[in-house]
Amino acid sequence: MIKCFQNINRPPVWLMRQAGRVLPRYRKLRETYSFRELMETPQLAADVTLMPVEDLGVDFAIIFSDILIVPTALGMEIEWTDFGPKFLKPLCEEKNPSKTLKFSGEKFEHVYNAIDIVVENKKAPLIGFCGAPLTTLCYMIQGVSSKQNFPEAKKFFYTQSLETKNLIDIVTEISIEYALKQVEHGVEVFQIFESNAGILPTEMYKELILPSVKKIADAVRQKGIPVIFFPKGIGMGLINITSEICDIVGIDWQTDIWDARRLIDKKVKIQGNFDPHLLLTSKDKIAEEIGKYRKFFDENPDWIVNLGHGVLAETPFENVKFFVDTIKSLR
Ligand code: CP3
C-alpha cells in the first residue's frame, strides 16, 4: 500500500518529532534561527525535513511544520515560546469564537513551497500532516499547552455545544483544504495527529470528533494517499478505528501492541509504539525491548515502526540512531 516499501523484508521506520532538537545539526541551526523562521523559510524547512533521513537513516521524511499552522491560517496569532506555543487571544476569551475566525490560505504557502523542495530531492517518501480537530481546538480554545489536560477547552466542549460544532466544522473544512493541497504538492502518506484523544470519554470522542476525522481522511484517501491516524490516549476506543476511518493507526506507548492488534479492525495496519523514554536509557536496553517485538513483526509483516509519541528533546542522538539501525537490521 505504501508503494516504496512493498519489497523490503524489514519494517519501515520513522519517528514522530524526528526533525527537531534531538539532531545536532538542528540544534546548531536553532542558534541562528527561531523555530518560526525555520518553519516559514521553505529552503530551511526542507533542509530540516531531510535531516533525519540523512543523519538517522529513517525511511520517511515528515514535513517540518506544526499542527498549529491551521489556527494561524484562521487568523489566530501565535507565539512560539521556550515553553511551547501560546495563542495571544484564546477562543475561550471570545463571546462568539467561530465568528472571529477568518481564513487566509496564504498562511499555508510556505508549507507547500517546502514540500516542493523536498519532493524534488527524492531522498525519501514524504509524510504530510495536520492535527485532528479535537487537538487543534484544544490549543485554540485553551491558548496554552502548559495545562496538559486543557480544562477550559473541556468545559467549552461540555457547555457550548453549538459553538463546539461550528468550530469543529470550520477546522475540519480548512484541514481538508490544507491536506489536499499537500497531496497536490506530492506528499505520499498523510498523518492525522490526535494527541489529545484521551481527554474525552470514548463515546463522546466517537460521536463528536471521529466523523470529522473520517471526513479529512476520506478526502485524502480518495486521492489514493494512505492515511495514518494517531489517536493518543484513546484506550478502548481503538475498537472504533475501522478501515472506514484510516489505513494505518498509530498506537500510543501506553497501549500494549497485541491488545491494539486484537481491538482494531484487521484491515488496518499498525504503527508504533515504543516508549519515547526507552530512548533515554542505554543501547542494551533498547536492543532488549526491540527483541520483545520480534514475534509481533513475524506475525505482522506490514508493521510500521515508530514511537508511541514524539521523540523527547533530551534524547541522546546516538541512542536514536542505534534504535533506527537495530530496527533496520530486523529480517
Ligand atoms: O518531526 C516532525 O514530527 C515534524 C514536525 C512536527 C512538529 N510538531 C515540529 C515541532 C510535527 C508533526 C508536530 C506536531 C505537533 N505540534 C503536535 C502533535 C504531536 C504531538 O507531539 O503530540 C502538537 C500537539 C504540536 C504543538 C506543539 N508544537 C507543541 C505543544 C510544541 C512545544 C513542545 C515542544 O516539544 O517544544 C511545539 C513545538 C515544536 N513543534 C517543535 C518542533 C520541532 C520544537 C521547536 C523548537 O523549539 O525547536
- Tens-of-pLDDT digits for all 331 residues of the chain? 566 566 678 999 999 999 999 999 999 999 999 999 999 999 999 999 999 999 999 999 999 999 999 999 999 999 999 889 999 999 999 999 999 999 999 999 999 999 999 999 999 999 999 999 999 999 999 998 666 789 999 999 999 999 999 999 999 999 999 999 999 999 999 999 999 999 999 999 999 999 999 999 999 999 999 999 999 999 999 999 999 999 999 999 999 999 999 999 999 999 999 999 999 999 999 999 999 999 999 999 999 999 999 999 999 999 999 999 999 999 8
> What atom of ligand 1 comes closest to residue 30's alpha carbon?
48
What's the pTM? 0.97
Strand partners, 271: 250, 304
Position 77 scores a pLDDT of 97
* Ligand 1 centroid distance, CA of 141 (Å): 18
Whole-number Å distance between alpha carbons of 270 and 267? 10
Kindly report the protein residue whose alpha carbon is nearest to atom 13 of ligand 1.
Answer: 66
* Ligand 1 centroid distance, CA of 66 (Å): 6
> What atom of ligand 1 comes closest to residue 129's alpha carbon?
12
Q: Transcribe 200-216 into DSSP letters.
A: S-HHHIIIIIHHHHHHH
Whole-number Å distance between alpha carbons of 40 and 58? 24
* Ligand 1 pocket check for 253: Cβ under 6 Å: no
Helix (H) or strand (E) run with residue 193 in it: strand 189-194
- Express as a percent the part of the chain with pLDDT over 90: 94
Cell for 75? Answer: 487568523
* Ligand 1 pocket check for 20: Cβ under 6 Å: yes
What are 35-77's pLDDT values in tens digits? 999 999 999 999 999 999 999 999 999 999 999 999 999 999 9
Kindly report the protein residue whose alpha carbon is nearest to atom 34 of ligand 1.
Answer: 84
**Cβ atoms of residues 205 and 137 within 8 Å:** no
* Ligand 1 pocket check for 271: Cβ under 6 Å: no
* Ligand 1 pocket check for 311: Cβ under 6 Å: no
Position 8 scores a pLDDT of 78
Listed residue (232, 230, 274, 233) closest to 248, CA to CA: 230
Q: Which residue has the cell 487568523?
A: 75
Strand partners, 306: 273
* Ligand 1 pocket check for 315: Cβ under 6 Å: no
> What atom of ligand 1 comes closest to residue 52's alpha carbon?
1
Whole-number Å distance between alpha carbons of 295 and 258? 10
Listed residue (53, 168, 172, 49) closest to 111, CA to CA: 49
> What atom of ligand 1 comes closest to residue 26's alpha carbon?
48
Whole-number Å distance between alpha carbons of 307 and 316? 15
Whole-number Å distance between alpha carbons of 195 and 310? 10
Whole-number Å distance between alpha carbons of 14 and 318? 15
> What atom of ligand 1 comes closest to residue 131's alpha carbon?
18
Q: Transcribe 43-92 into DSSP letters.
A: HHHHHHHHHHHHHT--S-EE-S--TTHHHHHTT--EEEETTEEEESS-GG
67, 82, 137: which to mutate for ligand 1, most atoms within 8 A of CB?
Answer: 67
* Ligand 1 centroid distance, CA of 144 (Å): 13
66, 144, 147, 182: which to mutate for ligand 1, most atoms within 8 A of CB?
Answer: 66
Kindly report the protein residue whose alpha carbon is nearest to atom 24 of ligand 1.
Answer: 195
Position 245 scores a pLDDT of 98
Helix axes 317-328, 283-291, angle to 10 degrees: 30
Listed residue (134, 129, 66, 77) closest to 101, CA to CA: 77
* Ligand 1 pocket check for 195: Cβ under 6 Å: yes
Domains and CATH numbers, the chain: 3-12+66-328 (3.20.20.210)
Listed residue (16, 55, 47) closest to 120, CA to CA: 47
* Ligand 1 centroid distance, CA of 20 (Å): 8
Measured in residues, the chain has a length of 331
**Cβ atoms of residues 76 and 101 within 8 Å:** yes
Three-class SS state of 324? helix
**Cβ atoms of residues 261 and 270 within 8 Å:** yes
* Ligand 1 centroid distance, CA of 266 (Å): 31
Listed residue (178, 175, 127, 133) closest to 153, CA to CA: 133
Kindly report the protein residue whose alpha carbon is nearest to atom 43 of ligand 1.
Answer: 20
* Ligand 1 pocket check for 19: Cβ under 6 Å: yes
